[in-house]
Amino acid sequence: MINLPARDVLGNFLTYNGDKYQNMVVLNADLSLSTKSDIFAQKYPHRFFNFGIAEQNMIGASMGFAISNKMPIVCGFSLFTTGRAWEFIRLACHDNLNIKFITTHGGLVGGDGSTHSALEDLSLMACLPNLNVIVPGDNIEIVKVLEYAFRIPGPFYIRLPRGNLNVIHKKDFEFDPNAIDVIKNGNESNDICIIGIGSGSYIASQFALKLEQELHISIRILNQSTIKPINTKNLISLIKNDKNVIVIEEHNTYCGFGSIISRIISEYCPKKIKIIGIENSFGQSGSRNELLEYYGFSYKNLKKKILELLNEK
């Protein structure tokens, strides 16, 4: 499980829990092979529904299922599900329906091309009342998040990438949306606190030790997978003594996760913040490693951002 692509973890989880959640139905918009919901379809064909390239119809049907005491799992690409059917999703959230929107291909998707990269979806979804928005950091957390979302009534948006997530958690990790997920604790007061979502948390942990040794600084790393709701009290209590903050998000920085964190920090414990993400741009085609380097998810750029913070008066 640990080394599987995130979407395989999703497909396996749905199938493994099919008998446990007898009211679960899975909906797709002609992307079951790509989202791996086809694994569920093979075992439970009478509980799987393919709507073709018609996301609005799919969400409309999911609302009907939810009203009928089913638990619909809506699978699709992050961009298409949120973009094409946002008004329908809004209505589902308005009525606080028990629908789980679980999408793949979030962030930069590499070879699938610029049109398929989802770099705006968190902005669209985080503004909706009643909706829980979660971006897991690795496969271990994906399973725990899915278990949590299936237990809790109400709408969830769970954003997964196209490919693999590197491991940042131990096998005994338990997901708690109110807890602050500390990947590297550092000191009571640190020069830099890095807050990551999704792949951003691993990127931070990958480079932290080298940065500490080279720049003679202390770094704390948080994996803030819960985009909404954020437990503001617990977050501020942990980072209040840290001097600077860097946010790493595989998303547009304008109205993205960094904007949410900046608002919270500016209100409760003002300090300097830098954001590493996509700067007012659409994605493009290329290998994932090339795209991460191009958009600044690199040791060089992280070091640059840290030095800017340390040198600013």
- Domain spans, the chain: 6-159, 181-311
- Please compute the mean of the pLDDT values over residues 179-201 and round it to a whole number: 95
Q: What is the DSSP string of 161-183?
A: -SS-----S-TT----TTS-EEE
Residue 278 pairs with which residues in a beta bridge?
252
Give residue-wise pLDDT tens across range 113-152.
Answer: 778 889 999 999 999 999 999 999 999 999 999 999 999 9
Per-residue pLDDT band at 1 (split at 50, 70, 90): low
Single pTM value for the model: 0.96
- Please compute the mean of the pLDDT values over residues 192-206 and round it to a whole number: 97
Specify the CATH number of the domain 181-311: 3.40.50.920
Residue type, 261: I
CATH top-level class of 6-159: alpha beta
SS3 141: helix
Determine if the peptide bond prior to 229 is cis (ω within 30°). Answer: yes
Provide the pLDDT for residue 220: 97
| 129 close to 142: Cβ distance less than 8 angstroms | no
pLDDT top residue among 103 and 116: 103
Q: Are both 6-159 and 181-311 of the same fold? A: yes
pLDDT exceeds cutoff 70 at 2: no
Kindly report the length of the chain. Answer: 313
